[in-house]
Amino acid sequence: MEFHRYYAPEGEQALLQRCARIRHIALDMDGTIYMGNSLFPYTKPFLGTLSRLGIGYTFLTNNPTRSAADYIAKLARLGIDAAPGQMYTSSMATIDYLRAHHPSARRLFLLGTPSMQEEFVKAGYELTAEDAADRPDVLIVAFDTTLAYKRLCRAAWWASKPDIPYIATNPDWVCPTDEDTILVDCGSICKAVEGASGRKPDIVIGKPNPAMLWCIRDKYGLESDEVAMIGDRIYTDVAAGRNAGGLGILVLSGETSLETALDSDPVPELTAADISVVADLLLRAHGA
């Protein structure tokens, strides 16, 4: 198969029909609109195309290391204006999950960055100390770039207690980066906890869990197939779009290679070189 700019296994006409239904796009961030601290040159034109077509968009990330305000500030530094309502992170989704499913929980042992911890405190939660006597209501493990060995050991200790609910913010093994290193993400940290405690998280909140996309769908009064998820990972971004009943779009600007995309089962409904290709397809589908 020869790949030019995109591949759609069901054919171009079926793809354009799907794209014509889109009214809102959930945009992954790292690897999709920027890499590390470098904004892709096609990001601003892409957002301009969405505005021109009247398609809404939400920045959606599995990365909980920053608060929503921190992400909005980062986008501003990169030249992207975003309102608070356009940002949804896995830590925000975890707070929503706690309120819905553990309404009486107040005390958390949280393996996460100070920025993330502050977001939970502002939401009304109390964070327990690294102390066996300071028992939490819920254990939360996240992508923690400030990870300390003693806190990892304490998280494993609480995970070994089956009566304490155990929540992971996201399943990602690594975080995309433009630096010469590997950023060990939440999924890998949870594997360490599992190896030590014998327990997996009770639930993993972030993509591919469709709940984040369903929240966006319901917020704007849309149908499931009117929402698309664009990202650089098959096992989180594309799977979330599919699980939510929307269109899952893979871009090759981040983690995933074309070979991996074509070997996956199922193959993404749309694999594009980058979001500029998606913009062109949307313009065609909407007759603009």
User: What's the token pair of residue 239?
Assistant: 């799977």
Q: What is the side-by-side strand order in the sheet with 227-231?
A: 6-7, 270-272, 247-251, 227-231, 24-27, 56-61, 87-89
Confidence of residue 175 (pLDDT cuts 50, 70, 90): confident
Torsion of CA 106, 104, 64, 86, to 10 degrees: -120
The pLDDT score that the predictor gives to residue 80 is 97
Please, which residues have CB within 8 angstroms of residue 272's CB and are 6 or more apart in sequence?
5, 6, 249, 250, 251, 252, 278, 281
Backbone angles phi, psi at 198, to 5 degrees: 80, 10
Domain locations along the chain = 103-204
What is the C-alpha separation between 86 and 68, in angstroms, rounded?
Answer: 9
The pLDDT score that the predictor gives to residue 1 is 43
Q: Is the CA virtual torsion 123, 220, 224, 143 positive or negative?
A: negative
Q: What percent of the chain has pLDDT over 90?
A: 92
Query: Residue 2: is its pLDDT beyond 90?
Result: no
Higher pLDDT, 50 or 177: 50
Burial of 214 (0-12, 13-18, 19+ CB in 10 A): middle
Beta bridge partners of 60: 88
> How many residues are present in the chain?
288
Query: Residue 93: is its pLDDT beyond 80?
Result: yes
What is the average pLDDT score of the chain?
95
CATH of domain 103-204: 3.40.50.1000
Helices (H), 167-257: 186-197, 211-219, 239-243
pLDDT digits (tens, 9 = 90+) for 239-267: 999 999 999 999 999 989 999 999 999 99
Beta bridge partners of 109: 139
What is the C-alpha separation between 256 and 44, in angstroms, rounded?
Answer: 22
Average pLDDT of span 253-282: 95
Residue 150 belongs to what H/E stretch?
helix 149-159
Q: What is the DSSP letter of 237?
A: I
Burial of 81 (0-12, 13-18, 19+ CB in 10 A): exposed
Contacts 24+ apart (CB under 8 A), 56-59: 56/23, 56/24, 56/25, 56/220, 57/24, 57/25, 57/26, 57/27, 57/86, 58/24, 58/25, 58/26, 58/27, 58/86, 58/87, 58/88, 58/216, 59/27, 59/29, 59/33, 59/86, 59/87, 59/88
The pLDDT score that the predictor gives to residue 3 is 60
pLDDT digits (tens, 9 = 90+) for 30-78: 899 999 889 999 999 999 999 999 999 999 999 899 889 999 999 999 9
Query: Residue 165: is its pLDDT beyond 50?
Result: yes
Say if residues 63 and 175 touch (Cβ distance below 8 Å): yes
Q: What percent of the chain has pLDDT over 70?
A: 99
pLDDT digits (tens, 9 = 90+) for 111-131: 999 999 999 999 999 999 999
| Global pTM value | 0.85
CA atoms in the 13 A half-sphere facing the CB of 259? 0
Q: Over the Cα atoms of the chain, what is R_g?
A: 19
What is the C-alpha separation between 60 and 216, in angstroms, rounded?
Answer: 10
